[in-house]
Amino acid sequence: MAGDARYAIYFVPAAQSRLYRFGYSTLGYDCYTGAIVRLADDLALSKGEWDRLTREPRRYGFHATLKAPFHLSHACTEAQLISALSSFVGLSSSIPTITPAIRTLSGFAAVVPLHHEPAIDALAMKCTTLFDAFRAPMSAQERAKRVASGLNQSQIENLERWGYPFLFSDFRFHMTLTGKIPTGRIDAVLAWLEERFHRSCAHEPITIDRLALLRQDGADASFRVIAQVLLKPANDR
């Protein structure tokens, strides 16, 4: 395994679901297969503009972050990480469900919960803390880059302890659809995404019923699903 590989634990919708088809066709990448996907013909922007707008989130695939990307500790193996993911099923206490909405967060568009769902925060906290034993220490370069982006004190403390700043009270469940949208294009992009989302998914509730382990084989590579587990409610065990 390449030394610069990174891993992440995400919620990725089922591969055959309408939600996932909406997401991967919006970004132009399928993180299950690693295939580049043809973009829609009725984009809100030109194909060139949309390609640029989705270039950064495309590398990660359509997902919601539960444990942010990390390098694997030298004391651990990928097989051990996959085994831990399977064992996590027995630790989950509930399966959250959200009513989805499309909103902007810090200038980018994402699928987010219409209402705050504490069970998702609890799931993300468990993933952050329980899988941290597999994370290699953050490099000085990684830390400096994060701090330079402008973090508050609690975010810096999260970064130092957990390798990622936007955790706990700063965590926001979201499934990214674009990069930062130019100010003059926000209304058009959101209107197009809303219409397409309604047509594709009918705003059905989203059940956070699975965890996926993804691997990125190098800084310029895209993340790809290498393992997935279904969560089980407590009364099903």
pLDDT at 1: 44
- Cα–Cα distance measured from residue 80 to residue 99, given in angstroms and rounded to the nearest whole number: 35
CA distances in angstroms from 83 to 77, 86, 171, listed in the order given: 10, 5, 26
Q: What is the pTM of this model?
A: 0.92
For the record, the structure tokens of 144 come out as: 């400096």
Q: Two tokens at 16?
A: 């055959």
Handedness of CA 165, 169, 173, 179 (dihedral sign): negative
Query: What's the CA gap between 229 and 117, in Å, rounded?
Result: 21
The sign one gets for the Cα dihedral 159, 71, 211, 91 is: negative
What pLDDT was estimated at residue 93? 64
DSSP one-letter string for 87-108: HHGGG-----EE-EEEEEETTE
Q: How far apart are CA 207 and CA 184, in angstroms?
A: 34
Residue 203: what pLDDT? Answer: 79
CB 137, CB 110: distance < 8 Å? no
Q: What is the residue-level pLDDT of the chain in tens, covering all 237 positions?
A: 456 899 999 999 999 999 999 999 999 999 999 999 988 778 889 999 999 999 999 999 999 999 999 999 999 999 999 999 999 987 766 789 999 999 999 999 999 999 999 999 999 999 999 999 999 998 888 889 888 888 999 999 999 999 898 999 899 999 999 999 999 999 999 999 999 999 999 879 999 999 999 999 998 999 999 999 999 866 655
Which domains are present in the chain?
6-231 (3.90.1140.10)
